[in-house]
Amino acid sequence: MSLSMIDGKILSNEAISSDCYSMMISVSDIASLAVPGQFVNIYVNNESKLLPRPISICEVDAYKGTIRLVYRAVGAGTKELSSYLEGTVIKLLGPLGNGYELLNGKKAMLIGGGIGIPPLLELAKRLDADKSVVLGFRDEIFLADEFKDYADVYIASEDGKTGVKGNVIDAIREYKLDAEVIYACGPTPMLRAIKEYGLSNNMIVQLSLEERMACGIGACLACVCKTANVDDHSFVNNSRVCKDGPVFRAEEVVL
Amino acid sequence: MNLSVDFCGVSFKNPITVASGTFGSGAEYSEFVDLNKLGAVTTKGVANKPWAGNDTPRVCETYGGMLNAVGLQNPGIDVFIKRDIPFLKQFDTGIIVNVCGHSEEEYIDVVERLSDQDVDILEINVSCPNVKEGGIAFGQKPDALNHITKEIKKHTNKPVVMKLSPNVTDIVEMAKAAEEAGADGLSLINTITGMKIDVDRRNFVLANKTGGLSGPAIHPVAVRMVYQVANSVSIPILGMGGVMNAYDALELMLAGATMVSVGTANFVNPFATVEIIEGIKEYMERNNIDDINSLIGAVK
């Protein structure tokens, strides 16, 4: 019995694009523990919306006791979350899951797609290595400027209005980027392409996966992903994204 | 104040357990909850071999509820006996093992393997709506339910509780069929089959298309069915369906349940079980009720 649900106080909650929001929460118990790639469960203050929202941690300030979440308001729960004003108290559980393994000193490429970008910001801050950041967007750009303090930033957009027209792999090829380690988070088709690209170039590839969750702690077996080897929970080649992940080595997962 | 109840000839320190599949085998929730406080842990359904379950997405939220189509992913009885039973035996709590299968032979295989294990009750899942073959086939026809219950009873000396599906025309007919076959108790209700469509993507939300609806949205259905069954059979009932708080649990007991399972509420609040037990104690104190057994089926 070491975990508990914690009250967090919203310090700010503002739109940073047409549907993405940045929320700063004062919650020192989580801030003191969180590492890049972990997530929190947020319990919205509405009894008709039952399930916690798993949201990745974008930034951590252990000294101030704050965490920052950048989330997209797409469903009923995240839309409700986007309406919460400064001062609102919400229940949180976390930090949950396993974050990225920081391979300091190894040349790194941080690759994010869409709402998979936020957890890479804290990683960019903490990772002590020569690094480049590659970000893929459909159209609207968000958060990209904030990476510039930590690394060179390369952008791909599907509409071609910013950076390379196409996806993150197109940007990597266009700018002839190279690395020993890839740290990635984004939609599954992107992760699939990065896995193939990284492994065929003998890179170490860490992927953060997303899946619909219920409990967030490994009990309900909702958020599984297919794995190359037999898992050690159910012994059926299914790992739990929430508990065994969300970050996996690319060779471990079947995408 | 007495919170202990007798269910199928087994004594439990209080009437609160968890709904199968919402609590694993207790290991994950033991980080939050002192399992010693629970009347029993009801484990995730276990089959004779590992089951991989359905494709994802396996869950989605609905208004006041959720749909799941996990498809009974489980490690199989060998791992369950080697890993999960010893884990639970560290705690002073009852063990109710949920058993699933695709066929009569598979159910019997599991039941036989459990017969010499130190567990209290076998809850037979003949009502999972998310597994295509078997399972629910036994739970929707009185004759099939009667037959499988008799066969299972022949192969074990443990108390057998049949878990009933609400996806039937007449729950009382099903309850009577299980009772006639020798079931020691009944648990109800399993989830109600539902579906959610993503209007923007114009596709099903769940990979399985359909899923089982749980959560507070189904609680009134559970109260009604527990009441109907309690007034039609003489074997005891483990009631469940959308219990979120102590009052929801007490409603099922007043309707006729001897024990109550907490399911979806565990996802909403990992501490739900212990908070419900505390809430029941407060209710009894406030109303000068000495023995919880006086509440079972008290509303006629």
Q: For the beta carbon of residue B235, count every other beta carbon within 10 angstroms.
A: 19
Of the candidates A214, A233, A237, the beta carbon closest to that of B66 is on: A214
**How many helices (H) and strands (E) are present in chain A, helices listed first?**
5, 17
Closest chain A residue to B28 measured between Cα atoms?
A219
- Of B267, B269, B274, which to mutate for an interface test with A (greatest number of A Cβ within 10 Å)? B267
pTM value is 0.94
Q: Give contacts of B75 with chain A, Cβ < 8 Å.
A: 233-236
Three-class DSSP category at B75: coil
Q: For chain B, 300 residues long, give each residue's pLDDT as a single digit of tens.
A: 999 999 999 999 999 999 999 999 999 999 889 999 999 999 999 999 999 999 999 999 999 999 999 999 999 999 999 999 999 999 999 999 999 998 899 999 999 999 999 999 999 998 776 665 556 778 889 999 999 999 999 999 999 999 999 999 999 999 999 999 999 999 999 999 999 999 999 999 999 999 999 999 999 999 999 999 999 999 999 999 999 999 999 999 999 999 999 999 999 999 999 999 999 999 999 999 999 999 999 999
Residue whose C-alpha is closest to residue B69's, from B170, B260, B209? B209
Residue limits of CATH 3.40.50.80 in chain A: 108-254
pLDDT tens readout for residues B163-201:
999 999 999 999 999 999 999 999 999 999 999 999 999
CB A122 within 8 A of CB A60: yes
DSSP per-residue string spanning B95-151: EEEEE--SSHHHHHHHHHHHTTSS-SEEEEE---TT-SSSTHHHHS-HHHHHHHHHH
Homologous superfamily of B5-49+75-193+216-295: Aldolase class I (3.20.20.70)
**Can the peptide bond before residue B189 be classed as cis, meaning omega within 30 degrees of 0?**
yes
A77/A21 Cα distance (integer angstroms): 13
Whether chain A has a CB inside 8 Å of the CB on B32: the answer is yes
- Domain extents for chain B? 5-49+75-193+216-295
**Hey, which CATH number is domain A6-96, 2.40.30.10, 3.40.50.2300, 3.40.50.1860, 2.130.10.10?**
2.40.30.10
Coil, helix or strand at residue A211: coil
Interface size, chain A vs chain B, as Cβ–Cβ contacts under 8 Å: 123
The pLDDT, as a whole number, for residue B139 is 85
pLDDT of residue A5: 87
Contact A84/B at CB under 8 A: no
pLDDT tens figures, A171-202: 999 999 999 999 999 999 999 999 999 999 99
Question: Minimal Cα–Cα distance from B96 to chain A, Å?
Answer: 17
Chain B environment of A242 (Cβ under 8 Å): none
Q: Which among B238, B260, B263 is positioned nearest to B249, based on CA atoms?
A: B260
**Torsion angle of C-alpha atoms B201, B204, B205, B206, degrees rounded to 10:** -150
Q: Residue A4 above 80 pLDDT? A: no
**Cα torsion B238, B79, B69, A94: sign:** positive
Beta pairing partners, A41? A54, A93
CA dist A76 and B186 (Å) reads: 37
Determine the length of chain B.
300
Total residue length of chain A: 255
Of A5, A212, A213, the CB nearest to B270: A5
Q: Best mutation site among A41, A50, A78, A81 for testing chain B: the one with the most B CBs within 10 Å?
A: A50
Whether a cis peptide bond, with omega within 30° of 0, leads into B166 is no
Please report which confidence band the pLDDT of residue A243 belongs to, taking 50, 70 and 90 as the band edges.
very high
Locate A90 and state its tokens.
């919400």
Q: By the 8 A CB rule, do B133 and B172 touch?
A: no
At B293, phi and psi to the nearest 5?
-65, -25
Q: Is residue A199 within 8 Å of residue A91, measured between CB atoms? A: no
- B128 belongs to the catalytic site: yes
Binned at pLDDT 50, 70 and 90, residue A35 comes out as very high
pLDDT of residue A1: 47
Min distance A120 CA to chain B CA atoms (Å):
25
Q: List Cα–Cα distances, B265 to A50, B66, B86, B130, B252, in angstroms.
A: 8, 11, 26, 20, 15
Q: Which residues of A touch B270 (CB under 8 A)?
A: 3, 5, 93, 215, 217
Pick the CATH number of A108-254 from 3.40.50.720, 3.40.50.80, 3.30.310.10, 3.90.25.10: 3.40.50.80
What whole-number distance in Å separates Cα of residue B125 and Cα of residue B148?
A: 11
Q: How far is A224 from chain B (nearest CA, A)?
A: 7
pLDDT tens digits, one per residue of B106-144: 999 999 999 999 999 999 998 776 665 556 778 889 999
In the prediction, which pLDDT does B134 show?
A: 54
What is the spatial distance between Cα B203 and Cα B182, in angstroms, rounded to a whole number?
A: 44
User: Quick check: B214 contacting A, CB < 8 Å?
Assistant: no
The answer to whether B211 touches B130, Cβ cutoff 8 Å, is: yes
- C-alpha distances (whole Å) from A179 to each of A126, A153, B280 are 17, 14, 59
- Tokens 């037999």 — which residue? A230
For range A141-157, the mean pLDDT: 96
CA of A68, closest CA in chain B: separation in Å?
23
- Residue B13, both tokens: 């320190």
Distances (CA, A) of B143 to A6, B1, B139, B175, B271: 51, 43, 9, 11, 40
Spatial contact of A108 and A183, defined as CB atoms under 8 Å apart: yes
Q: Which of residues 245-284 of B touch A (CB under 8 A)?
A: 264, 266-271
Identify the active-site residue in B8, B60, B100, B128: B128
